[in-house]
């Protein structure tokens, strides 16, 4: 291991390492994490992670709720990219119920999911910069996260915890302002991302702080269950969007960027490249959406009266709509029995939903596969022998989100 940094008097029997509680609420941990570090001088001898400070028992709560009431719970998993969680959950329900969504819905969903991916990655990468001492990039890209949130606002009315969409599609069609804002984002963001890259990618200090910090081999990463950008940075081209396409991803052209060493710098590069790819996907999807004309351009949900709320005018005037409205809101609709696993490529890895239904109104069991809960285990291996300041960077470059970890 490391050499001895603190010299003690000879014959001393004192403990030679220092215990440091990093967290649970430390400004550098970006969330409620606790790391109990054993330090030899400034080198980390061992790290023990404690999680669960914001555990809210979502899996238990979900066993009492009808499907549509579970969507707000998924918001609070990875709250940097809530729409991906929402849509992943809707896809799980649709798989169980056998609902086929119209193409336009798929494309609209892809636009939203890729916007969410960009907002997730830009926060993660700029936070890595902040932890390395470069604050400018963070403030600069934050403006564009704001623009993404404005797009969410146009579509569903809320910003951070979006509760976006319904089983079968969206609650309303995208309005013109939403499309204008998406186009504005597509026009302005590439220059910003380019400038962000210019600030960091060949920055001497940034490179020194991230290259060879927290590396992991492809084999170890797979064994640790890494997914998403962290696995791709180690050199494995596994992407759920390519391997198990959902929401018509198979119709889109994009590259899967990979790294080689799996260190913080590679993770940063992979995320940046993914943002460029996401911009390309949004452009393709937007072109496909704008091709729909006339009545087709008004389609924004599948025809599933059992799960999709009828329009409010109909509820007041039509008997059947009133009945469906009541049944949906009270959660009195039984779903088919069965078990289903559906995963989506979340902001930080494969977000999976394992749903067991016994034919009742609520899931018998719902389990979330939360990517960062799984790869936070590797933190000790990644930081052993590293400096204390490296531990902070490793933590932010893994894109750990406390809400997702603790579920």
Partner 1 sequence: MPLTNDIIQQKLTEKFREQITDFTEPYGMLTFSAPKELNLKVLNFLFDSLDLKFRFLTDICAVHYPEQKGKELAVVYHIHNLEDNVRIRFKIFTDINQPDVYTATGLYSAANWMEREAYDFYGINFIGHPNLKRIMNVDEMDYFPLRKEYPLEDQTRTDKDDEMFGRGGAKGFGNERTDDGTMIEADKNAGEQII
Q: How far apart are CA 247 and CA 109, in angstroms?
A: 7
257 and 243 Cβ atoms separated by less than 8 Å: no
Question: Rounded to the nearest 5°, which phi and psi values hold at 48?
Answer: -125, 125
268 and 115 Cβ atoms separated by less than 8 Å: no
* By CB under 8 A, residue 97 contacts partner 1: no
Nearer to partner 1 (CB atom), residue 270 or residue 286 = 270
* By CB under 8 A, residue 339 contacts partner 1: yes
Among the listed residues 335, 329, 332, the one whose alpha carbon sits nearest the alpha carbon of residue 356:
335
Among 75, 94, 131, 350, binds partner 1 (CB under 8 A): 350
* 43-58: burial string, b at 16+ Cβ within 10 Å, e else: bbbebebebeeeeeeb
212 contacts: CB under 8 Å, gap ≥ 6? 261, 263, 265
Among 160, 330, 359, 360, binds partner 1 (CB under 8 A): 330
Among 20, 61, 130, 387, binds partner 1 (CB under 8 A): 61
Number of residues binding to partner 1, judged by CB under 8 A: 42
* By CB under 8 A, residue 100 contacts partner 1: no
Q: According to the 3-state scheme, what is the secondary structure of 144-203?
A: HHHHHHHHHHHHHCCCCCCCCCECCECCCCCCHHHHHHHHHHHHHHHHHHHHHHHHHCCC
Structure tokens at 272: 């940046």
* By CB under 8 A, residue 369 contacts partner 1: yes
Scanning the structure block, which residue is given the tokens 């649709």? 94
Termini Cα distance of the chain: 36
Shortest Å, Cβ 370 to partner 1 = 10
Among 341, 387, 388, 389, binds partner 1 (CB under 8 A): 341
Site string for partner 1, 177-206 (x = CB under 8 A): ------------------------------
Nearer to partner 1 (CB atom), residue 37 or residue 123 = 37
Site string for partner 1, 205-244 (x = CB under 8 A): ---------------x-xxxx----------x-x----xx
Nearer to partner 1 (CB atom), residue 126 or residue 343 = 343
Shortest Å, Cβ 221 to partner 1 = 10
49 and 30 Cβ atoms separated by less than 8 Å: no
* By CB under 8 A, residue 59 contacts partner 1: yes
Shortest Å, Cβ 235 to partner 1 = 13
Q: How far apart are CA 329 and CA 321, in angstroms?
A: 12
Among 45, 211, 340, 387, binds partner 1 (CB under 8 A): 340
* By CB under 8 A, residue 38 contacts partner 1: no
Window contacting partner 1 (CB under 8 A); options: 54-62, 174-182, 200-208, 307-315: 54-62
Structure tokens at 222: 């797979």
Window contacting partner 1 (CB under 8 A); options: 102-110, 152-160, 179-187, 376-384: 376-384
- Is the four-CA dihedral 306, 311, 313, 314 of positive or negative sign? negative
Among 91, 373, 401, 403, binds partner 1 (CB under 8 A): 373
Residue numbers at the binding site for partner 1 (CB under 8 A): 51-52, 55, 57, 59-61, 63-64, 95-96, 220, 222-225, 236, 238, 243-244, 330-331, 338-341, 343, 350, 352, 354, 356, 364-365, 367, 369, 373-374, 376-378, 406-407
């Amino acid at each position: 291991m490391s050499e001895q940094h603190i010299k003690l008097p000879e014959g001393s029997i004192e403990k030679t390492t220092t215990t440091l509680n990093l967290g649970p609420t430390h400004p550098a941990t970006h969330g409620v994490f606790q790391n109990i570090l054993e330090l030899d001088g400034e080198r980390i001898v061992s790290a023990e992670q404690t999680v669960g400070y914001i555990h809210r028992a979502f899996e238990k709560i979900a066993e009492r709720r009808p499907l549509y009431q579970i969507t707000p719970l998924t918001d609070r998993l990875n709250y940097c990219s809530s729409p991906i969680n929402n849509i992943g959950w809707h896809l799980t329900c649709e798989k169980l119920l056998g609902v086929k969504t119209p193409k336009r819905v798929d494309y609209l969903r892809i636009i939203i999911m890729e916007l969410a991916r960009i907002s997730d990655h830009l926060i993660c990468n700029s936070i890595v910069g902040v932890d390395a001492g470069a604050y400018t990039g963070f403030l600069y890209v934050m403006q564009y996260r704001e623009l993404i949130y404005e797009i969410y606002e146009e579509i569903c009315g809320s910003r951070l915890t979006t509760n976006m969409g319904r089983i079968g599609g969206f609650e309303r069609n995208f309005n013109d302002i939403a499309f204008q804002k998406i186009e504005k984002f597509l026009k302005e963001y590439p220059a910003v991302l380019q400038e962000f890259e210019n600030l960091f990618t060949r920055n001497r200090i940034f490179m020194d702080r991230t290259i060879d910090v927290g590396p992991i081999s492809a084999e170890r990463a797979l064994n640790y269950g890494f997914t998403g950008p962290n696995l791709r940075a180690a050199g494995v081209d596994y992407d759920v969007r390519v391997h198990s396409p959902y929401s018509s991803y198979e119709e889109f052209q994009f590259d899967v960027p990979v790294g080689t060493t799996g260190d913080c710098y590679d993770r940063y590069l992979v995320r940046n490249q993914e943002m460029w790819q996401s911009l390309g996907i949004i452009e393709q999807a937007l072109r496909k959406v704008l091709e729909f004309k006339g009545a087709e351009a008004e389609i924004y949900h599948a025809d599933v009266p059992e799960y999709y709320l009828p329009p409010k005018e109909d509820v007041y005037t039509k008997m059947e709509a009133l009945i469906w409205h009541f049944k949906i809101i009270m959660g009195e609709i039984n779903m088919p029995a069965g078990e289903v696993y559906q995963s989506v490529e979340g902001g930080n890895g494969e977000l999976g939903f394992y749903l067991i239904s016994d034919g009742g109104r609520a899931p018998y069991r719902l389990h979330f596969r939360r990517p960062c809960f799984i790869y936070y285990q590797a933190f000790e291996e990644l930081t052993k022998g590293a400096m204390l300041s490296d531990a902070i960077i490793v933590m932010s470059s893994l894109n750990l989100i406390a809400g997702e970890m603790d579920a």
